[in-house]
A and B are shown apart, each in its own frame.
Chain A
Amino acid sequence: MADTTVLAKVEAALPGKILESSTLHGDETIVISRDDAPLVFRTLYDAPEFAFNLLVDVTAVDFFGKEPRFEVVYHLKSIALSHRLRVKIRVSEDDPVVPTVSSIWKGGNWLEREVWDMYGIRFSHHPDLRRILMYEEFRGYPLRKDYPVDRRQVLVEERDPVNDPWPRR
Chain B
Amino acid sequence: MAESTWQVTEQLDPTSEVMSLQMGPSHPATHGTVKFNLKLDGEKILDMDVEIGYLHRGFEKMCEQRTWNHVVPYTDRLNYISPLINNAGFALAAERLLDIQAPERCQYIRMIMSEISRMADHFTCLGMAAAEAGAISVAFYALEARETLFDIITAVTGARLTVSYARVGGITQDLPAGFAERVRSAFKDIRAVMSDCDNLLSKNRIFIDRMSGIGVLSKEDAISYGVTGPLLRASGVPYDVRKADPYLFYDRVDFDIPTGTEGDNYDRFSVRFEEIRQSIRIIEQALDQIPEGPVRVDDPRISLPEKKDVYGNIEGLMNHFKLVIEGVKIPPGEVYQAVEGGNGELGFYLVSDGSGRPYRVRVRPPCFFGMAALGQMLKGYMISDIITTFGMVNMIGGECDR
**A interface residues (Cβ-Cβ under 8 A, vs B):** 1-2, 24-27, 29, 53-57, 59, 61-62, 73, 75, 79, 82, 84, 86, 105-107, 109-111, 114, 118, 132-135, 142-143, 145, 147, 149, 161-162, 165
B1-28 interface with A by 8 A CB criterion: 20, 22
Given contacts A75-B336, A133-B54, are A162 and B20 in contact (CB under 8 A)? yes
A73 touches B349 (CB 8 A): yes
A53 touches B223 (CB 8 A): yes
State A86–B349 Cα separation when bound (angstroms). Answer: 11
Name the residue among B51, B226, B401, B402 with the largest chain A CB count within 10 angstroms: B226
Chain A residues near B266: list those with CB within 8 A.
none
Q: Which 4 A-B pairs have the closest CB atoms?
A: A107-B226, A110-B372, A106-B224, A57-B364
Name the residue among A106, A111, A118, A142 with the largest chain B CB count within 10 angstroms: A106
State A75–B373 Cα separation when bound (angstroms). Answer: 19
Chain B residues near A55: list those with CB within 8 A.
226
B226 touches A105 (CB 8 A): yes
State A1–B337 Cα separation when bound (angstroms). Answer: 11
State A132–B237 Cα separation when bound (angstroms). Answer: 29
The answer to whether B96 has its CB under 8 Å from any CB of chain A is yes
What sequence of 0s and 1s flags, for each residue 51-79 of chain B, a beta carbon within 8 Å of any chain A beta carbon? 11110001011001100000000000000
A61 touches B338 (CB 8 A): no
B362 touches A142 (CB 8 A): no
Q: Give the contacting residue for A2; candidates B245, B334, B369; CB below 8 A.
A: B245
B360 touches A61 (CB 8 A): yes
Chain A residues near B359: list those with CB within 8 A.
61
State A136–B22 Cα separation when bound (angstroms). Answer: 18
Q: Which chain B residue shows the least CB distance to A128?
A: B49
A79 touches B362 (CB 8 A): no
Q: Give the contacting residue for B226; candidates A56, A86, A134, A145; CB below 8 A.
A: A56
The answer to whether B355 has its CB under 8 Å from any CB of chain A is no
B401 touches A56 (CB 8 A): no
B369 touches A107 (CB 8 A): yes
Chain B residues near A73: list those with CB within 8 A.
349, 362
A79 touches B245 (CB 8 A): no
Knowing that A57-B362, A118-B60, A133-B52 are A-B contacts, what are 12 other residue pairs whose CB atoms are under 8 Å apart, sorted by A's residue number? A2-B245, A24-B335, A54-B223, A56-B338, A61-B351, A75-B336, A82-B244, A84-B245, A106-B221, A106-B373, A107-B372, A134-B54
The answer to whether B97 has its CB under 8 Å from any CB of chain A is yes
Chain B nearest CB from A84 CB (Å) reads: 7
A143 touches B401 (CB 8 A): no
Q: Give the contacting residue for B245; candidates A29, A82, A135; CB below 8 A.
A: A82
Given contacts A24-B335, A133-B52, are A56 and B224 in contact (CB under 8 A)? no
Q: Which chain B residue shows the least CB distance to A165?
A: B37
Q: Give the contacting residue for B333; candidates A25, A143, A145; CB below 8 A.
A: A25
Chain B residues near A27: list those with CB within 8 A.
334-336
State A109–B2 Cα separation when bound (angstroms). Answer: 48
A56 touches B347 (CB 8 A): yes
State A73–B345 Cα separation when bound (angstroms). Answer: 17
State A133–B228 Cα separation when bound (angstroms). Answer: 21
Q: Which chain B residue shows the least CB distance to A75?
A: B336
Chain A residues near B97: list those with CB within 8 A.
25
